[in-house]
Amino acid sequence: MQTTTNPGLVAAAERQIPTLHTTRIEPVRLVEAVADESAFQGWRVREVSSLAEWRSSAYGKGESFALDFGDHQVGYVSLSVRHVGSPPDAPLKLRLAFGEMPCEIAESFAEYEGWLSSSWLQEETLFVDVLPAEIRLPRRYSFRFLRIEVVDASPKYKAAFDAVVCEAVSSADRSAVESLPPSVPDDLRRMDRVAIKTLQDCMQTVFEDGPKRDRRLWIGDLRLQAQANYVTFRNYELVRRCLYLFAGMRLEDGAVGACVFEKPEPHVDDTRLYDYSLFFIATLRDYFKASGDRATLEELWPIAMEQVRIGLRRLDERDIVRDEESWYCFIDWHPELNKQAPAQAVLIYCLRRGLELARELGLAGDEADIAAGIERATKAALMHLRDEASGWFVSGAGRQVSWATQVWMALAEVLPAAEGAALLRKLLAEKPAVGMTTPYMHHHLVEALFMHGMAEEAVAHMRTYWGGMLEDGADTFWEIYNPDDKKLSPYGSNLINSYCHAWSCTPTYFIRTYGWEKLSNAGEAAL
């Protein structure tokens, strides 16, 4: 794969690797997973005995136990294990399964049939030759529950565990987060707390998309994480590091890659997403607006402007984004979603933010080019993608009507404000069949509602969607959530889903950005 690398920008990013805060976490109870059709994905946990009883117990071949660490954790696990009985005359074989959700300690990983690699399933097989032993697992895990099974041991002894602890890690500083005032309703306060925990556990040496999987930096996730970060942890340095990584390692034609890796040395993945490349512009704009860091803006602006030009080159003779097999745009995990019209709207949305930056920098030529691009793309969207008879924006050769298209057209301000609000009210009332599947897309609906003065509807949707996750047991918010299909996975198995995922952390952004009194008043009206 050919890439465009700027060693100076990459070096600047590497100078900003943060120090991780560590916290020692011990389990709070001994539990077991129980089948329950009424529970999320068919499983719940129940307490089976006290920790004191567990510490006084010993386990032989075929026996197991499960620990609950009380909340979602990301970190490194250590075990203190000893033998009970005769001196060990054979190694102790242990199998460990880590779970963010009960299904991961209840269902057999051996039966996994998803299309992502099973190596993402969080498990370890350990052979302990000498007892007693102090063992620190080298891999980092993302979990709340840990199931430990004694696969085999000599009949002459059993294994007892004096301690199982997690050294939790994050670059987020919880002391930087301001408390919400008492006027915020309890359910929104809980939603805010879980959203912040989600963000915290994804903040490592970069803003990871998910600490369980994929554990790397994606720009679509980064944009939303950064927005939540600006109103909570305010870690501007970590955002800057991520921007420099994307700017310093681009694809062959200069496009910003969809994701980058940190190890063994920083390198860009070969995944190209049309919308994600454009989001570099919006992420830089949001960063400058929050931090006022003009030096970074000036240094990275040429890369942002390059994304403008690359994005505009995809327009066809009608000034509509070309929709063909040679390209890919994310928008949402939905197998039937046509991406052409929402991609057109993402282009306009990002150009508008680029226009702000060009004006801030006093770059008249860039400003004129971006303004012309906005005019071209907006005029074309109204001419070719708006169905006058129905009032919907349509996408692709099949003229598909989707939630994503309407939401992004509203965010891109393709229509005057009053008409944009009317489009969103129509969307909520008529509910097109091609819906939304991820918190990522639901975030954009809520953002569009707030943008168009529909706070009551925005809060009601937050309560229904993120509140639904809370009711289903979330202690961090998830990668995918469909209230009508709670085992839905874009990867063929809910076992591989990420249950602490960056793009779902934004309730705290909404709660803290749009005004506590406004939210609480709207929230009471929505009840």
Q: Reply yes or no on whether the pLDDT at 352 is more than 90.
A: yes
Q: What is the mean pLDDT of residues 487-499?
A: 97
Q: Count of CB atoms within 10 A of residue 17's CB?
A: 14
Three-class secondary structure of residue 470 per DSSP: helix
Q: Reply yes or no on whether the pLDDT at 47 is more than 80.
A: yes
Q: Which residues contact 159 (CB under 8 A, 6 or more apart)?
A: 58, 59, 60, 81, 82, 83, 84, 92, 94, 131, 150, 153
Q: Which residues contact 500 (CB under 8 A, 6 or more apart)?
A: 72, 74, 100, 142, 198, 201, 202, 210, 211, 212, 476, 477, 478
% of the chain residues with pLDDT over 70: 97
The pLDDT of residue 81: 98
Q: What span, in angstroms and rounded, lies between the C-alpha atoms of 376 and 117? A: 43
CB 291 within 8 A of CB 280: no
% of the chain residues with pLDDT over 90: 96
Half-sphere exposure in the Cβ direction for 386 (13 Å, CA): 17
| 118-133 residues labelled b (16+ CB within 10 A) or e (exposed) | eebbbbbebebeebee
How far is C-alpha 362 from the geometric centre of its chain's CA atoms?
A: 35
Cα R_g (the chain), whole angstroms: 25
Q: Count of CB atoms within 10 A of residue 110's CB?
A: 8
Q: What is the mean pLDDT of residues 458-472?
A: 98
Q: Which of 259, 237, 235, 370 is nearest to 304 (CA)?
A: 370
pLDDT in tens, 112-144: 999 999 999 999 999 999 999 999 999 999 999
pLDDT greater at residue 458 or residue 527: 458
The pLDDT of residue 298: 98
Q: Reply yes or no on whether the pLDDT at 526 is more than 60.
A: no
Confidence of residue 527 (pLDDT cuts 50, 70, 90): very low
Q: Reply yes or no on whether the pLDDT at 462 is more than 90.
A: yes
Q: Reply yes or no on whether the pLDDT at 325 is more than 90.
A: no
Q: Which residues contact 322 (CB under 8 A, 6 or more apart)?
A: 314, 315, 316
CB 340 within 8 A of CB 380: no
Q: What span, in angstroms and rounded, lies between the C-alpha atoms of 285 and 383? A: 29
Q: Reply yes or no on whether the pLDDT at 373 is more than 90.
A: yes
pLDDT in tens, 158-189: 999 999 999 999 999 999 999 999 999 999 99
Q: What span, in angstroms and rounded, lies between the C-alpha atoms of 313 and 116? A: 33
| 268-306 residues labelled b (16+ CB within 10 A) or e (exposed) | bbeebbbbbbbbbbbbbbbbbebbebeebbebbbebbbb
CB 19 within 8 A of CB 171: yes
Q: What is the mean pLDDT of residues 85-111?
A: 97
pLDDT greater at residue 463 or residue 517: 463
Each domain of the chain, given as residue ranges in start order, spans: 21-170, 436-527
Q: Reply yes or no on whether the pLDDT at 518 is more than 80.
A: no
Q: Reply yes or no on whether the pLDDT at 253 is more than 70.
A: yes
The average confidence (pLDDT) of the chain is: 96
Q: Reply yes or no on whether the pLDDT at 508 is more than 90.
A: yes
Transcribe 93-157 into DSSP letters.
EEEEEEESSTHHHHS-GGG---SS-GGGS-EEEEEE-SSSEEEE-SS-EEEEEEEEEEEE--TTE
C-alpha distances (whole Å) from 299 to each of 3, 296, 328, 361 are: 20, 5, 29, 11
Q: What span, in angstroms and rounded, lies between the C-alpha atoms of 444 and 410? A: 10
The pLDDT of residue 459: 97
pLDDT in tens, 271-313: 999 999 999 999 999 999 999 999 999 999 999 999 999 999 9
The pLDDT of residue 521: 62
Q: Reply yes or no on whether the pLDDT at 226 is more than 80.
A: yes
The pLDDT of residue 3: 81
Confidence of residue 109 (pLDDT cuts 50, 70, 90): very high
* CATH number given to 21-170: 2.60.120.260
Q: What is the mean pLDDT of residues 48-67?
A: 95
Q: What span, in angstroms and rounded, lies between the C-alpha atoms of 227 and 506? A: 8
